Amino acid sequence: MLKFQIHAPGKVILHGEHAVVYHKPALAAVVGLGTKLQLRTQPESQVASFQLEALNCTLEIQLPEFNAFLSKFRSKYPGDKPDCTAKLLEEVRAEVAKQLEGSGSNTPKQQSTQKAFVSIYYLLAGAVLSAPKNPTLTLQSGFQVKIESELNVGSGLGSSASYGAALAAAFLILAGHFGKESYIREENQALISQWAYESERISHGTPSGVDNTVCTYGGMLKFIKGQGFQPLHIHKPLNILLVDSRVSRSTADIVAKVRHLAETFPHLIEAIWKTCEELVTAAIPLYESFGNAKDDSEKFEKLERLFQINNDLLKAIGVTHPKLEQIFTIAFKRGFFSKLTGAGAGGFAIVLLPENYEQNEVYWKLKEELEAAGFGVHATTAGGAGLRVSTLED
């Protein structure tokens, strides 16, 4: 009986949000919060069952129907290697629509459930069809998957990439691409990230690739649109406080408003983007050297100032919100530096925390005041471990 669990972290943008759209560098880091997936095979069953806590639903795939789908796909596209193929996604969408026919898909929850089902079916089919040891592999044993997430959907913390990476890793292990211990090899991590990107396509259409990469590999990375990724060589993660403004927003709408501003004042906004680039350049050596000396206080103070400058630049392009401003004010009053992360206009703010912050009475007052104001508060890290597979105890 195969059983294991996977933790796939979420992410934050530390610097360069919005400027990254205009081919300037951004820095992203994994956070300690993430998606937890548990998988148990059930040899006597012919059903794959998926319990999704975030959507409060259970989805099922009947293995005879699934294997029939695989056989039909192989007949229709003989010799076609289904690694991230548009053909497979098209066939999966049609199959899922047929299976969900009559269930309706009008409400936001129904639409989210359908997207989740498409992701599951697509990643599972892709993993089985591309199985390295058996090109005609079918699933003979049912299994149960339970997925829980600490990440709010649509909050800018990479919830969909975290979910996709966890599912991809689970299905790749199930289909025999690699084992529970060998997932950490570079070629296997690349495969997980590749399929997590495919899952992101279902959620976002044309994702940048930054979320699935950092959620799989962990740490921090520098990203430039169209130029790929460069990992930072950090010594230890940063302590941060993630503060949920509880304000939902549309990333696409915010990006469109910023683009309109850039078209209205091109030279002015370009100067802001160049400053954002300079800020990233200044931040990288601080992150990479942080933790390699007994006294990091000077570096920490510089990072605090960069947080403040970055936040002021984001305010200048109009992506703040009264609730975010309230968070910044509460933090600053207590002597902490903060910034919005991601698209802005709601979502999350990050507060930079010093070493041994838990022994600091002012930190607890900060946490208490933020919670009293109605914000969600999570103490965690930025730049820690990426996706991890571990043994599942009964």
Q: 261-307, pLDDT tens digit by residue? A: 999 999 999 999 999 999 999 999 999 999 877 778 899 999 999 99
**pLDDT computed for residue 82 by the predictor:** 65
Q: Do 14 and 97 have their domain in common? A: yes
> Cβ-count burial of 391 within 10 angstroms (0-12 exposed, 13-18 middle, 19+ buried)?
exposed
Q: Provide the pairing of β-strand 47-52 with 57-62.
A: antiparallel
Closest to 192 measured CA to CA, from 210, 176, 206, 213: 213
Q: Do 173 and 215 have their domain in common? A: yes
**Using N-to-C axis directions, what is the helix angle for 108-129 and 159-174, rounded to 10°?**
30
Q: Do 80 and 176 have their domain in common? A: yes
| Measured distance CA(149)–CA(199) in Å, rounded | 16
Q: Is the pLDDT of residue 155 over 80?
A: no
Q: Do 98 and 200 have their domain in common? A: yes
* Of the listed ranges 12-26, 51-65, 148-162, 257-271, the one predicted with least confidence: 148-162
Q: Is the pTM of this model over 0.75?
A: yes
Residue with the two structure tokens 């003979």: 140
Q: Is the pLDDT of residue 351 over 90?
A: yes
Q: 220, 231 in Cβ contact below 8 A?
A: yes
Domain of residue 301: give its range. Answer: 238-382
pLDDT in tens, 143-152: 999 999 888 7
Q: Do 307 and 345 have their domain in common? A: yes
Q: Do 96 and 199 have their domain in common? A: yes
Q: Do 251 and 212 have their domain in common? A: no
**pLDDT computed for residue 369 by the predictor:** 97
**Average pLDDT for 337-346:** 92
Q: Do 150 and 296 have their domain in common? A: no
Of the pLDDT bands very low, low, confident and very high (cuts 50, 70, 90), residue 361 is very high
Q: Do 138 and 206 have their domain in common? A: yes
CB-side neighbour CA atoms (13 Å) of 16: 27
pLDDT in tens, 198-225: 988 887 777 778 889 999 999 999 999 8
- CATH number, position 158: 3.30.230.10
Total domains in the fold of the chain: 2
**Average pLDDT for 49-64:** 90
**pLDDT computed for residue 51 by the predictor:** 94
Closest to 62 measured CA to CA, from 98, 37, 91, 108: 98
| Measured distance CA(384)–CA(8) in Å, rounded | 11
- CATH number, position 333: 3.30.70.890
Q: Do 128 and 221 have their domain in common? A: yes
**pLDDT computed for residue 207 by the predictor:** 75
| Measured distance CA(152)–CA(213) in Å, rounded | 19
**Average pLDDT for 127-132:** 91
**Average pLDDT for 240-262:** 90
Closest to 18 measured CA to CA, from 267, 305, 283, 261: 261
Q: Do 194 and 251 have their domain in common? A: no
Q: Is the pLDDT of residue 64 over 90?
A: yes
**pLDDT computed for residue 83 by the predictor:** 60
Q: What percent of the chain has pLDDT over 70?
A: 96
Q: Do 213 and 243 have their domain in common? A: no
